[in-house]
Structure formats: C-alpha cells, structure tokens
Amino acid sequence: MELSERPRRLRSSAAIRDLVREHRLHPHDLLAPLFAIEGQGLAEPIASMPGVHRLTLDRLADEARELQALGIRGVLLFAKVPDHLKDARATEALNPDGLLPRAIMAVKAAAPDLLVMTDVALDPFNSDGHDGIVRDGRIVNDETVDILAEMSVLHARAGADFVAPSDMMDGRVAAIRAALESTGWTDTGIMAYSAKYASCFYGPFRDALDSAPGFGDKKTYQMDPANVREAVREAQLDEAEGADIVMVKPGLPYLDVVRAVREGVQVPVAVYQVSGEYAMIQAAADRGWVDRTTAMFETLTAFKRAGADLVATYFAKDAARLL
Ligand code: PBG
C-alpha cells in the first residue's frame, strides 16, 4: 500500500509516544483526601476502601510529611466524629477544639507547605446524616448556610488554606466568602463542590465516616446524574459568588461534565475520583481482573484529558510515588 497518512508512525516507539503525548500527569495535579479519627498511634483500615486508613492525628502528621516529600501540594481533610457528639444541630461542626480544627493544626505543623483544604458540610456532625439541618423531614437551606459560613471561619482560624463546601446548598459560596472577608480571612480560598451529583459512588466514603443519611437520600440538594447544563449553571454561579476553584464529582462517570464546566468558567476546575471509583478499581485489581497501576494512570489521565486542572484521588500517594 502507498498511504499518505500512517498515524501508527507516531505510536511506533516509546520515544515518539513520549514526544507526542498530549496530556501528562504530575504530582502537582493531585489532591490527597485524608480521614482523621480520635486516638493515638492508629491507622484503621476502611473495609470498602482497601489501602485507605483513618488516621489519628500523630499518624496524620506522618502521612502529611510523606505526601509533602512526594511532591503532593494539597490535602482534603475529613474527620470521623464519634456518634455521641452528633446532634440535630450539628453542634460539633462549630467546636473550635473539635477533631477537624485539631487535624488542620496537626497537618500544618507537620507539613507547612502542604495546602490544607477542609470539607464544609454538616453530614459527619449531624445525627440525621444529611449535609444540612433537617426540619420536618426537609433539608433547610438558609439556616444551613449560616452554619457553613461560621464553620468556614473556624477552619480558616485553625489554619485551613481553602475551605471546600461539599453540601450543595444555594448561596453558600457567597455567604462563606462574605464571612471570611468580614473576619479578615481574605487569603483563605474556596474550592466549591459545584457540580456534585447524587451518586451511589460515595458509599465507601460514608462507611469511612459513618455518615450515611439516616433517612431518604440526598436528591433534594445533590444533582441529578442525568443533567449537564445544570452543572455549568452551578459552576458559573459559584464562580460569580467568589469560588476560587470549582469541582465536579464523581469523576469517571462525569467526564463530559468536567469538559462542559472547563469550557464554562475561567477558574481552575477540580475533579474528585470518589471512594466508589477507587473501590471498584481496587476490587477488580485484588481479583487480578485489571492491573491496578495501569487502571490508576489511565483514569487519572482521563481526567486531565477531559479538562480537569486538579484531581482529588485516593491514589494520590501511589501515583506520586510512581511519577
Ligand atoms: C460530604 C462529602 C461526601 C464526599 C465528600 N464530602 C459524601 C456525601 O456527600 O455523601 C464523598 C467523597 C467520596 O466518596 O470519596 N458532604
């Protein structure tokens, strides 16, 4: 055959493939989620997330140091609140001596160059397991937003570099920005979970924090998986309200949403490869059905290709080690 085009030429050796690769992953692209628990010297395995642990603050500090040394630039912090501290008002969310503020301080002390981003939502603190305050079976918006704003200032005071509202209440980014400005935390950023879907893929995370909703589901605040224009609207609203970074979550089932949001806003776009996505890959790899490392890099690269600037992933440490 005499062909004028032979695309395979650009795939014919590792050298040429390296030269023409369109997207590259770097440890700087990755955010590592971390789970804090009370206690000392413990790393509790999470059954549905093999390889991921809940860490006491001393172990959390060690982990932060390791991540920093591997070139990771940011962590997402979550706290598992003991059951007896949960109530209908999510009171513990505003405790300045609570586990989350202490976890922020532990990470900042151990690894000062690591950016600490905190989850802002009420579900780990709420006896109803919902992201907002429940009244007559409904998740009330405005009252929740007041608490989220107060909680954000508390996190900033403890040393958080970014707060990351993951609750999907309306108007929370504006309220949080205003609260941070009026209290002098003008350098504290907001990474908004702007397009967060009502997804089954959060299951293992809810095991990790024991934060499953006590009744119903989260469909009155988290997004319908069938929608994409709505995601762009949410991201644009958050950008207009002052979000520094917007996020799409989950990741792999929503790559089209990542692309649409990337094209719809000017701020950086993050994507969250959530617990259930991690669990699926890990489970298949444990059975020898897929190669873990290849699946990890293939999925992380897919996020970059879809337009994400940052990727939150439970693979962050393993990926950074291999990069
Ligand atoms: C809390 C929150 C959730 C996740 C991040 N923040 C769970 C939920 O909304 O039910 C999920 C993260 C994951 O699955 O890895 N609002």
Q: In this predicted model, what pLDDT tens digit does every residue of 119-154 receive, in sequence order?
A: 999 999 999 999 999 999 999 999 999 999 999 999
Reported for 256-259, long-range contacts at CB under 8 A and 24+ positions apart, including other chains, are 256/228, 256/306, 257/195, 257/228, 257/231, 258/303, 258/306, 258/307, 258/308, 259/306, 259/307
> How many angstroms is it from 202 CA to the middle of ligand 1?
6
Beta carbon of 123 within 6 Å of any ligand 1 atom: yes
Residue corresponding to tokens 């994507």: 271
**Beta pairing, strands 53-55 & 43-45:** antiparallel
> How many angstroms is it from 15 CA to the middle of ligand 1?
41
Beta carbon of 277 within 6 Å of any ligand 1 atom: no
pLDDT at position 282:
97
Residue ranges of the chain with per-residue pLDDT less than 70: none
CATH class assigned to 24-322: alpha beta
Q: Residue 241 is encoded by which pair of tokens?
A: 């309200």
pLDDT at position 158:
98
* Catalytic residue IDs: 196, 249
- For the question of whether the overall pTM of this predicted structure is more than 0.95, the answer is yes
Domain residue ranges of the chain, discontinuous segments joined by +: 24-322
Beta carbon of 221 within 6 Å of any ligand 1 atom: no
Q: Residue 210 is encoded by which pair of tokens?
A: 């024991």
Q: Which of 119, 123, 202 to mutate to test the pocket of ligand 1 (most atoms within 8 A of CB)?
A: 202
pLDDT at position 217:
94
Give the DSSP letter of residue 112: T
Beta carbon of 202 within 6 Å of any ligand 1 atom: yes
Phi, psi angle pair for 244, to nearest 5°:
-85, -30
Phi, psi angle pair for 74, to nearest 5°:
-150, 150
pLDDT at position 272:
98
